[in-house]
Structure 1
Amino acid sequence: VLAAPDGRKVLDASTASLPRGLVRDHIESLVTKAAAQDYRPVDQTLLLRTLADRLRGSNGFGAFVSDTLMKLGLLGTIIGFIIMLAPIAGLDAADKVAMRSSMGLMSDGMAVAMYTTLAGLVGSILVRIQYYMLDAATQRVFSDAVVLTETYVTPVLERKGAGTAS
């Protein structure tokens, strides 16, 4: 049982005060490490690095997706310009009917270019916003885990090492 100075239970195996998850796994690893080294002062630096990596998980994937969406939008722009300029290659300036149909094809190509650019930019921005919020939440969870372990867990483990805790 890990208890706060005011008597509140922080971690109790019989009542499972903390839900299963990365923070609880970190605390269990910290308790295991402390027990293995006879409850001497616990350095949780490596365990905190591991927790940070596990919390971040695939956050980097968001940057990849955002960049990929932008690049796909630019690729669509290039394809649209190719579609737009293709009718000009064999165009006879004297043929008004051909000019009219070429103008229609050119506007279709420009529409493809603009819509793909718009879709790529909007998609990229939306994904980037979501992953920014996810990253901020991840940082808050990590910060809370550090405060929890430094304030409640390691003092109890160190008191056990001194033989004063139950």
Structure 2
Amino acid sequence: MERVAEIRVRVDADLGVCVELLRDVHDVAGYPVNWPADARKWLTPEDGLGCWVAVSDGRVVGHVALTANGPDGVSVERLFVDPKATRAGIGRQLLDHSVQTAAELGRRLSLEVVDNRGAAERLYRRAGWLETGRTPIDWGGDQASELIHFEAPSSGTSEIRTGQ
């Protein structure tokens, strides 16, 4: 896969841009389903293990965070890409970075996505992530009715899957 962005640790100076980017994603794609009361705080989960940004042509175009999920698990959280930069492979780079980081930590990796995120769900499936279950939600309003749970492939990078 061609690398289209640099993935680096998010620094405090990135937060303002990340909030603006998140607002654009929310307006265009409805993520997150419910806008957080404090977007800056939401982007920095309390149980976070790290936050990273994707930078292309000198500007932040994507974001991902990893959080602790029990004693041996890690969850992908706050994954989003600038609507003007979608379908360029940036989401995949952030996802692969998450897989590699979890492997380096020796922890299994999972994520959850609401059932109205078709593009995100397709990305995860094409990257070899396995659906492990679904849970009904009551906070999605008219937009979403359940969470889809995924587990990462076992290798350090996602595999390419076609025809799904």
TM-score category, normalised to shorter length: under 0.3
Which is helix-richer, 1 or 2?
A: 1
Q: Given the two structures, how large is their TM-score scaled by the length of structure 2?
A: 0.25
Identify the structure with bigger relative contact order (alpha carbons < 8 Å, sequence gap 6+): 1
Q: Given the two structures, how large is their TM-score scaled by the length of structure 1?
A: 0.25
Over alpha carbons, which structure has the higher Rg? 1
